[in-house]
Structures are given as structure tokens and as C-alpha cells.
Structure 1
Amino acid sequence: MAGKIYTVAQQKGGAGKTTLAAHLAIAWSEVDLRVAVVDIDPQGSLTRWFQTRQEAMDGNVGLQHVQINGWRTQREVERLAQDNDIVVIDSPPHAETEARIAVRSANLVIVPVQPSPMDMWATQPTLDLARSENVPVLLVINRVPPRAKLADDLIERIKGMGADVAQTQIGNRVQFAAALFEGRSVTESARKTRAAEEIQELAAEILKRGRR
């Protein structure tokens, strides 16, 4: 039985796409799932994180990594899904062809969206792309600032965008960036923090959706 393919997509840069992809991948590997990450973003941020992880952990990285782009993407992702329980694709912003391939390959498209007007407006093309490929979407409200009334209002607006919204929200926490600099996840480097709990809760919520 092939594994689940989750594409993390967002047409707007800076939404926390790669951060979310890396942290979810580790969270799933920590519950004894075989995980592969696929970097098709030309910026290669996920690949850089993986290379840092290899150095920091003496090669014991706990997951598989592939950097690829172009027409070979779908075939490579399908191959990885035969050998892994989960494949996480970090897709590029502003790249219609690459993003479409990544979305088409997915069982679920995970869309991080920050509670800001610009981010909310920029999310619509990603939703439209997923609908055109008939792939379900899960919006993840990301980088939520503490005690911000504007954020509360925008979160309600995001919930009205016509796509499922994850119950778990991810806060704007420095632990996420700090963990990536070390080639790790917050569930490894900051285990007893709310940041780690949020990632674990979101990872479990997504897995639960896949069993429906």
C-alpha cells in the first residue's frame, strides 16, 4: 500500500512553508513512520536544512531526502510513496508548473497562512489550484502572534475562505527557527515547549484526517 503524499504549498513566499514541512516530517518520523521529504523549491531551503541535519547527527537523520524539479517530480514522488509511509513535498512559491505538479501528486495539500491580509489574499491562488486538481486542502494558521485582536479577526476570515482549517494553530515562536539552524525540529531540541506540542498536535491531526 502506497504512503500518503502531503504537499506543503503557498503561492506567497515567507509563509513558513519549509519550516512547517521540516517540523511535520520529523514529528511523523518520531512516531515510527517512514518519512521522505522532497524539495522542489529552487531556493533549496529544505535541502540546506537536511544537509545541516546530516552533519549534526552523523548521518542518522531519520528520514529520506530528495531534491528534484521538473517533469520527473511526480514519478519520483510516487516511487518514494511505495517505500515510505509519508512523503512531504516542499513546493515552490510563484511557480505555476512546479506547484501544479506537486499539488497533483498529493493526497492532501497543506497550506500555511499567516493571520495578515496580504497572506490571506495571496492564499486564494493556491486554493484555486488545488480545486482545479481536485485535491483536498487543509489551511494551517501559522505564526500566530500572542494576544493580537487583529489576528483573531483575520483567523475568523480565514475560516470563511471555503477550505478546511486545522484546529491546531502554530504560534509565532523563536524555537522553530532555532531548531532549523541546528538541523533539528522543536520536538527534538525544545521538547517541553508549547512549540513542540503544537507540531505534535498538528501532525496527529493530519494523520487522523488521512484515516477517514
Structure 2
Amino acid sequence: MTGTIITIAQQKGGAGKTTLAAQLAVALAHSGKSVAAIDIDPQISLATWFGMRNSLNGAIGYKGKGALEIVQITGWRAASEIEKQAKLHDVVIVDSPPHAETEAKIAIRNAHLVLIPVQPSPMDVWATKPTLEIAAAEKTPVLLVLNRVPPRAKLTERMSAALKELKVPLAKATIGNRVALASSMADGLGVVEAAKRSVAAQEIAALAKAALKAAG
């Protein structure tokens, strides 16, 4: 049985794509899923973070079948690697490069779901449209998620309304701009490991559940 493939994509840089990929991958493994995190971004930020994670913490095991593997690859081999890892794992999380690069299109084409992080600002909302257009062309379902949400309710409400006008699914779960996320990343951990009772951990867990459901 082929595992669920979730590609995290956003044409605009700085939306928190890699942090979200890392946090979701760890959360899913922590919940008992076998997870492969694939870094196809030439900046290799996700693969670099996982290298730091392993050096700081060693091999972290989970009860049951939960396991987490990192793969770094670019170019024409990306499609075959995604397919290979989907045959070996319950879930594959793909961190795609920004801009309309070939690898990003490949990752979107091969996914069951494209998760698009959007910061609550007009520029981020506008910049989301090219990613939506690629997903539509590849006929891949999408799920928008408000990411790095500041404690400013009025702005968030306005941006949520603007995203709903795009007429694509918007996750009920939002990810706040929380210190616990950055702190856990600095320690080579997911927030569900470093601060399991925190609001940040609850938000990541809720988004992981919503993404799996949306991916079918």
C-alpha cells in the first residue's frame, strides 16, 4: 500500500515552509507513523536540520512502528525517490523549493495533498496564487494553513477572509508565531517532543491530523 504524500509548497520564500515540514514530520512519527522527510530544496535546510537533530539526540525511537527518515535529493530523480519512499513509509513529507522550479512542480504532481503555509499578510496572500495555479494544473488537492500567526486577531481575521475568497480549503488549525517552535528546532527536536503540553504542540498535532484527512 502506498503511503500518503504531502508536499509543502509556497512560491514565496520566508513563509516557514521548512520549519513546518520538520515539525509535521516529527509529529507524525511521534504519533506512530513511519515517516520519510524528503528535502528537494537546493538550500537543503531540512536535511541540515535533521543532521543536527541526529548529532544532538542520536536515533530517537518511538513506541510502535513510528520511525523517521530523511532523504535529500534534487533534479530528475526526485519523482522516483518520492515514489520509492511512499512504498516504504506511511507518510512522506516533501519540502519543495520556492519559485516555479522543476522540482517544485514534480513534488506537487506526485503528492496526494499540497499544504501551503501562508503568513497573515496581504503580500503572502497574493503570493500564494502561483502555487495554487501549479496545483490546479497538476490536479492536486490543496490545503492552505495560516502560519506564524501573531496575536493580532483583527489582522488574522482579515487575512482568513481574503484566503477564503480564493475558494480553496483553509485549515481550521492555525500555527501561531510561538517561541516553543523555534526553541525546539534549535535543540534538534519537534515541539511535540520538547514541549508536548504546549499550545504550539497542540497546533502542530491538529494540523498533522487535518493534513492526513485532507490527503485522503
TM-score band (shorter)?
Answer: over 0.9
1:7 CA displacement = 0.2
Which residues in structure 2 correspond to 1:56-205 (within 5 Å)? 56-60=56-60, 62-205=67-210
C-alpha distance in structure 2 between counterparts of 1:159 and 1:170, whole Å: 17
Distance in 1 between the 2:42 and 2:36 partners? 18
Q: How many residues align?
A: 211
Match of 2:53 in 1: 53
* Deviation of the 1:113 alpha carbon: 0.3
Q: State the match for 1:31 in structure 2.
A: 31
Offset, 1:175: 1.2
User: 1:82 deviation in Å?
Assistant: 0.4
CA displacement at 1:96 relative to structure 2: 2.3
Gaps of 5+ in 1: none
TM-score by length of 1: 0.96
SS in 2 for 1:165: coil
Identity across aligned pairs (percent)?
Answer: 53
Contact in 1 for aligned 2:4/2:212 (Cα 8 Å)? no
Preserved contact between residue 147 and residue 177 of structure 2 (Cα < 8 Å): yes
Shift, 1:95, TM fit: 3.9
How many angstroms apart in 2 are the aligned matches of 1:40 and 1:209?
Answer: 23
Counterpart-to-counterpart distance in 2, 1:137 and 1:207: 12
| Aligned match of 2:5 | 5
In structure 1, distance between residues paired with 2:28 and 2:60: 16
Displacement of 1:43 in angstroms is: 1.1
Question: What is the CA distance between 1:162 and its match in structure 2?
Answer: 1.9
Please tell me the residue identity of whatever aligns with 2:212: L
Root-mean-square deviation over aligned CA pairs:
1.2
Find the aligned partners of 1:178 and 1:95 in 2 and give their Cα distance: 31
Q: Distance in 2 between matches of 1:155 and 1:94?
A: 23
Report the equivalent of 1:41: 41
1:148 deviation in Å? 3.6
Which amino acid in structure 2 is aligned with residue 202 of structure 1? L
TM-score, normalised to structure 2, is 0.94
| Distance in 2, Cα, partners of 1:170 & 1:78 | 29
**Which segments of 5 or more consecutive residues in structure 2 lack a partner in the other structure?**
62-66
Instruction: State the alpha-carbon separation in 1 of the partners of residues 163 and 41 from structure 2.
Output: 25
> Shift of the alpha carbon at 1:87?
0.4
Report which stretch shifted further, 93-102 or 163-172: 93-102
